[in-house]
Structure 1
Amino acid sequence: MAEHVFKLHAAWQGGRNSIGEIESGQLKTKVSIPPEMDGPGIGTNPDEMLLGAAATCYIITLAAMLERSKISTLSLEMNSEGIVAVEKGVITYKKIQHMPVLTIPENTSQETIAKIHRLITKAEESCMISRAVKGNVEISAAGKILIGER
């Protein structure tokens, strides 16, 4: 089995409300605690990064599945939400919701549209990040299919 190693360097000076930096491949940014959690809100934060990892993994997986199924789309866009809650004083990442919107050609068959709906769900189940957090964070996908030009 081939293994791929991804590396990240992090630097942090100070305490809880300080600002750090991370660098991993093409990703280089400042990090801090978000203002919603009484932090400085500089750069990104772990909550956004988990949402970003889950969303990019999902949309890439869905695009690959559509391509392998020879399903053409005019566009594929998506919004995702991460829901974080405080329960008994513990901050917990509860749920990630993906909401892809696919625009498909007018001549797309009903059979193909049904397959797209199946792939929207299957991509979430197949995504590496979804599998990594399974059992800890609920992840769902509910897509919308538009027919015709954008």
Structure 2
Amino acid sequence: MVEHYFHLKADWPGNRNDIGTIQAQNLQTKISIPLEMDGPGEGTNPDEMLLGAATTCYIITLAAMLERSRIEKTSLVVESSAVVDVTNGIFTYKKIIHRPTLVIVNEKDSKMATRLLLKAEDTCMISRALRGNVEIELEPTLLVEKVK
């Protein structure tokens, strides 16, 4: 068994609407409650970071699967949205919607690419961690672009 450790330090100097900081090996930013939740909206927030973790895990997993399957791509972009429900003052991270757009070179790879667009979500580490708590929805687009 191999384990990997990741570390993050958070500093919060004040009360609810103050601004804190986080530091990790390759991440350093301000944090606060988002404007949508009546906060100052400085830096990032847990909602964006969870969405960012889910999106980056999905796109990196998909890219690795495409590479292993030798599917040549000209573009891979994912736009994601999060739905946070507020009921009786309780915030619940309800759903993440990924909208990947994959442009491949060979039409013969379409069937496998379609399968990988879906499979990447099932094998992504962050998606597996969220499973059972946050619904993850995919709205994939697959295009074929002939290389000249």
Flag whether TM exceeds 0.5 (same fold): yes
Q: Paired residue for 1:31?
A: 31
The farther-off stretch of 81-90 and 2-11 is 81-90
Tell me by how many angstroms 1:142 deviates.
2.0
Over residues 34-67 of structure 1, what are the superposed CA-to-partner deviations in whole Å (9 max), with x where a residue is unaligned? 0000000000000000000000000000000001
Secondary structure (helix, strand or coil) at the match of 2:16 reads coil
Q: What's the % identity of the aligned pairs?
A: 58
Aligned length: 147
Q: Paired residue for 1:14?
A: 14
Tell me by how many angstroms 1:25 deviates.
0.8
Alpha carbon RMSD of aligned pairs, Å?
1.2
Secondary structure (helix, strand or coil) at the match of 2:73 reads coil
Secondary structure (helix, strand or coil) at the match of 1:91 reads strand
Q: Paired residue for 1:69?
A: 69
Is the contact between residue 29 and residue 43 of structure 1 (CA under 8 Å) also seen in structure 2? yes
Is the contact between residue 82 and residue 96 of structure 1 (CA under 8 Å) also seen in structure 2? yes
Query: Matches of residues 40-59 of structure 1 in structure 2 within 5 Å?
Result: 40-59=40-59
Query: Please, what TM-score do these two structures have when normalized by structure 2?
Result: 0.95
Tell me the amino acid that sits aligned with residue 20 of structure 1. G
Partners of 1:70 and 1:146 in 2: CA distance: 17
Selected match of 2:119 from 112, 116, 122: 122
Partners of 2:33 and 2:47 in 1: CA distance: 9
Query: Matches of residues 91-102 of structure 1 in structure 2 within 5 Å?
Result: 91-102=91-102
Over residues 72-110 of structure 1, what are the superposed CA-to-partner deviations in whole Å (9 max), with x where a residue is unaligned? 1011111000111112321000000111101112x421x
Tell me by how many angstroms 1:149 deviates.
5.9
- Structure 1 unaligned blocks of 5 or more: none
Partners of 2:103 and 2:117 in 1: CA distance: 13
Query: Matches of residues 100-119 of structure 1 in structure 2 within 5 Å?
Result: 100-105=100-105, 107-109=106-108, 112-119=109-116
Q: Paired residue for 1:132?
A: 129
Secondary structure (helix, strand or coil) at the match of 2:133 reads coil
Partners of 1:91 and 1:149 in 2: CA distance: 46
Partners of 1:108 and 1:67 in 2: CA distance: 16
Query: Please, what TM-score do these two structures have when normalized by structure 1?
Result: 0.94
